Each structure stands twice: as C-alpha cells, then as structure tokens.
Homo-oligomer: A and B are copies of this chain.
Amino acid sequence: MNGARSVVETLLGAGVDTCFANPGTSEMHFVAALDQARGMHCVLGLQENVVTGMADGYWRMAGKPACTLLHCGPGLANGMANLHNARRAGSGIVNIVGDQATWHRPHDPPLAADTEGMARTVSAWVRTCSAAADAGRDAAAAIEAACTLPGQVATLVLPSDASWDEGGEVAQMHAPTAQPVDGHAIDNAARVLRSGRKVLLLLAGAAALDEGQAAAWRIAAATGATLMADYVIGRVARGRGRVQLERVPYSTDLAIEALAKFADVVLVGAKAPVGFFAYPGKPSRLVAPGANVHVLARPEQDGVAALRALAEALRVPAAAIPDPGPRPEVAGGAPTPEKLAQTVAALLPEQAIVSDESVSYGRGFYKFTHAAAPHDWLHLAGGAIGDGLPVATGAAIGCGGGRRVLSLQADGSAMYSLQALWTQAREKLPVTTVILSNRKYAILVNELKAVGASPGPTAMRMLDLANPELRWPELARGMGVEAATASTMEECASLMKQGFGREGPFLIELLV
C-alpha cells in the first residue's frame, strides 16, 4: 500500500473516522486513498478556516479528534485562525497538510511555502513525513499528540511523494497517559479552602462539564468558595441541573471588579486570568494585587480527577445543585440582548448546543439562560473572530446530527467564514443560526471610544458595515440555507421555533 493509504488506515484504526477537507493537487493521492478505504466520513468546507473550525467544533462535542485535509502552505494559512482558536480551546485536531514532493520542493515551485514554519505558530506538535514507510507511524504519533490533554493541534505535513510511494505501513496509536493528579496540589488547595479566606475555584476544560461541576459544587457548598468559569474556554455544560456559573468578564475593568474580592484563586484547568488586550495604565493580570494564585490542575492534567480528589481530601458531603427557577417566557418587542437570552432560554430544546460568537452583543447571555433546558455552550476561546459558524457545523457533525445546534452569531464575524453555511446545507445539519445584525463592528466602535477618540468619518469607514447593508437571507439562500428576517422578538421567537423544528439548517437575521 502507498503512504496515503497507510495514513488513512492508521486513522481509521484509531477511531478517527471524520475528515474535514479542502484538498488540492498535492493531496490527490490522499483523496484516492480515502476513496479506497472504507469508513471515513469526508466533509468538504469551501475555505480552510471553515475546515479547521469544523474540526474544532467536532472535538468539543465528540470528545475525539477528527482529521483535516488541507492544501500545502497557503491552504494551511487560510485555516490558521481557527487552529489558533482550537489551540486556545484545548481542542485536539489531527491536522494533515499536503505539501510539495520532497524532491520538488528545492526547486521552489510557485506554491512552495514554509509550511512547517506556518504550522508551528498554531500547533503543539509538528512533523513533516519524509518517506512513505514512515507515514503510518507519523500519523499514529499525530493522533497521540492530538489526544494529549487537554487536546492539541497536531500537524502532520505530508509531501506528495510520501503519499504516493509504495511501502506504507499501518501503525497503531498508543493512547497518551494523563499526567497524574498532584498530591501536593490537592493538599495545598485543601489548606487554602479551609483558611476562611475568600477563595475562587476557576474552572476550565473538562472541569466545566457535568462531572467536574458536580465535584466542584460539593466543594463550594461545603467551603463557601466561589465557582467561576474561565473566559478562555471551549465548552461549558449549562442549564437546569448544572451550576449557575458565570465566566470571568471579557472587559478588563469588569474582570478586575469581579476578581477583586478573592484573596486566593485556585486554577482547575485554567490559566491565571489575563486581559484580552492591554490598555494604557491598566494591569495585564486580572486577579487582585497580592492575591495568591494556586494550581490544582494544569490544563494538561485531569481536572475532574483533581476535583474529586480534593472533595475527598476535604471530606465534603454530596450537595444538590440549586434549581435555577422556572424557565423564562419568550420576550416581545424590540430586540435587546436580555430579551434574546430569555427567548433562547424559553425555547432551547433539551441537550441543545449553543455556538456563541455573539462578541459584544452576547456578553450578558449567561445570566438569563441558567434556567434553560440542559445544554452545552461553546465559546470563541482564542478571540480570532470567524469560528462561530464553523464550530456550530462541526459540533453538529460531532453529535451525529442528533442534537440541535443554535448558532448565535454577530454579523461582522459571520462574514469571516460564512462559507460554513454551505456545508450545513450539504450535510443537512440541524443548525439554526441567528445573525445579530447591528451592521457595524460594535466592539471596535466601543474600543475606539475607550481610546478617547470619537470616531470621525475615516474611522467609521473602517468600523461600519451598513453601506451597503449585508442581506443575510440572500447570502444564506445563495448557499442553500433557508432564511428569514426578524425585527421584533415575537418574530424571532416564531422563526426560532420554526428553525428548531426543521431537519436541516435555517438562518434568522435579527435586526438589533
């Protein structure tokens, strides 16, 4: 068998059975191998950032990596922003990038680029396969790297001759062993929690899902500690039966305020909070000056096991998670963020997934959605806009289409990767998108004001999206997705119900 076939069989043997792809000429032997092998579900994205964002969303819900198939150099570059987001979310991706044949590359053909150099900027693991005989082994190593906690971007660069040459050998991946829970860290956290000081347990990674929350809640209920989710987080389990977590706020000022009262911050899979951006005269670190930061579990350790061990060390009893009260009612009248959140909480189906790239509009959504049916909420962890639609798409695929996805999406960032809608139509995915159409880069208008300048005409030309207006229903229909416009919450609720009842995707343009 050739090298490409050995890679495909190695992937399938390790349970990697979904391939998000946008191949080019140098990947044609790989495509042929995908054709010959059985069992790989191949999903086309019409631009590479859609491909990598789908792989990220897939990992978050499937809990195992998909592979990508990208075209050499510039094709990888197109997908790097969402690989950056995946890196920050702790998502595992087997990122396969075709490349020039080993003996052709020295001639510097037009599409030759520093593929490895590009890959290193977004990957935890990079290897260029040098021969077909190594391709299977290299693929196994890539899968292992992708599955290493918390999940990593592992880039395998596959020159075309390593694909087409004979001598490929299927390899077995060795499941990475999680780093053990650190007894000293448990003891230290127990000591801190018994100190009587104000303690924050800051959750990220798996610690923010069901089991982690349950263990964390036992600890918090018994010790009086506060629980929060990190701002930089890929997925939070939410709704009835889950802890009413808030996230560390995006805004530096609000985050400093929210963290000011804690003398001790215990990190569970999270990093110590840092401002998204610097501002003159404001600090980089968001915890209170003089606060102690403790690590219970690093992102590459098992945070859930650490929380369980901590609960045991503290001998805390079982504790029921408080009920959030009744579901809100559907809201009416002119749209506001609060009303949209209430309406989402009212209508969200059981076990839905929310892909949230609402950017500025949605910063208060959490407060109004605790009483929704149980659901998972997916966030833009790396801040590179353009992951909402692809993550929604990949998440739907990661659940085999069995769970409803609601994509809450700002208009400016939606334009970064709108091609994802086409894949939603092609795969007939149960994704309902709500475009929050404010026709500007609202976050930047605010940031510019924060600089002390009121935006003049030149600046507004770079911040407004109103001239011409983006017409989302036409854009969606152009890619095969049915769509409609809402300008009141009643219309939005009615369309949302309609969307949730459909087999395939639907898009609502909400004029806000």
Chain A residues proximal to chain B, CB less than 8 Å? 21-26, 28-29, 31-32, 34-36, 40, 42-44, 46-47, 49, 69, 73-75, 77-78, 80-81, 84-85, 88, 100-101, 103-104, 107-111, 113-114, 117-118, 120-122, 160-161, 164, 231-232, 271, 274-278, 280, 284-285, 381-384, 386, 412, 415-416, 418-419, 422, 425-426, 443-444, 447-448, 450-453, 455-459, 461-463, 465, 467-475, 477-480
- Contact A471 B478, beta carbon cutoff 8 Å: yes
Q: How far is the CA of A386 from the CA of B74 in the complex (A)?
A: 10
Task: For A107, give its contact among B232, B274, B280, B457 (CB under 8 Å).
Answer: B274
A381 to chain B, nearest CB (A): 7
- Contact B425 A415, beta carbon cutoff 8 Å: no
> 8 additional contacts, CB 8 Å, given A28-B444, A110-B382, A161-B278?
A22-B462, A35-B458, A84-B113, A111-B383, A117-B117, A161-B280, A418-B418, A470-B478
Residues of B within 8 A of A382 (CB): 74, 110-111
Q: Which chain B residue has the least Cβ–Cβ distance from A414?
A: B46
Q: How far is the CA of A32 from the CA of B456 in the complex (A)?
A: 8
Q: Which chain B residue has the least Cβ–Cβ distance from A282?
A: B104
Name the residue among A384, A457, A463 with the largest chain B CB count within 10 angstroms.
A384
- Contact A81 B78, beta carbon cutoff 8 Å: yes
Residues of B within 8 A of A285 (CB): 107
A245 to chain B, nearest CB (A): 19
Residues of B within 8 A of A280 (CB): 161, 164
A435 to chain B, nearest CB (A): 11
Residues of B within 8 A of A458 (CB): 34-35, 40, 42
Q: How far is the CA of A129 from the CA of B120 in the complex (A)?
A: 23
A160 with B278, Cβ < 8 A, contacts A32-B451, A479-B468 known: yes
Q: How far is the CA of A274 from the CA of B182 in the complex (A)?
A: 56
A422 with B470, Cβ < 8 A, contacts A44-B462, A277-B160 known: yes
- Contact B74 A468, beta carbon cutoff 8 Å: no
A111 with B467, Cβ < 8 A, contacts A29-B451, A84-B74 known: no
Residues of B within 8 A of A78 (CB): 49, 78, 80-81, 384, 386, 416
A344 to chain B, nearest CB (A): 25
Residues of B within 8 A of A74 (CB): 80-81, 84-85, 382-384
- Contact A277 B100, beta carbon cutoff 8 Å: yes
- Contact A25 B276, beta carbon cutoff 8 Å: yes
19 pairs from A and B in contact (CB 8 Å cutoff): A28-B448, A31-B459, A47-B416, A74-B382, A75-B81, A77-B80, A77-B84, A77-B122, A78-B384, A80-B118, A84-B113, A109-B276, A109-B277, A110-B232, A160-B278, A422-B470, A469-B480, A471-B478, A475-B475
A120 to chain B, nearest CB (A): 7
